[in-house]
Amino acid sequence: HVASARREVAGTENFQSADKKRLAELQSKRVHAFCILRVICPDKSVLQVHFRAADTGEYVVSQIKPLLAPEVQSAGWYLYQSPPLKRLGLRETMASAGFTPGANVYLGFESTKPGPPYLEAGLFAQMGPAPALERGVNAPAGPSFSGEAMGWGTGQRLGASGGAGDVAGTQRTTAAGGVTS
């Protein structure tokens, strides 16, 4: 009996306890000791802060608060992830919240949202000038290259030649039915 019990404990038999399986899972998991949080403000400014994975939400909030503008500090603010909206719990650790090794969180407000800047004056001054709004997806539309501008979608008279020259707009049918060149 002693020999078979030893084999079972050693794992040479097919028997494995739930504790051994759990231990094997834990040993194979990657453990992160630190957490990098990127706090994204409503004006798209980002504050990057580093915490230990065992730090609680209460500690994180207390450390971030002095880095925010006085108007933000006095407003009811919180940190959340989205979608779906999940607020950082004050008793929750960074690891249990799933924020390790890093996470993007957003700055939210209980009631009225104060205006920018959201970061403390010293941090805000380090950011430099705001980028021009005339870039990227915010840029105003330039010359239109839509189908209508290219002559597409304009009616053609049945029986008119369907060559490639007609597509360029050399012959168009007007709303009254007349042909223009």
| Structure confidence by residue, pLDDT tens digits, 118-146 | 999 888 888 877 766 666 666 666 665 55
More confident residue, 1 or 68: 68
pLDDT computed for residue 23 by the predictor? 76
For residue 10, the surrounding DSSP H or E stretch is helix 2-10
Lowest mean pLDDT segment, chosen from 23-27, 34-38, 100-104, 125-129: 23-27
pLDDT computed for residue 169 by the predictor? 45
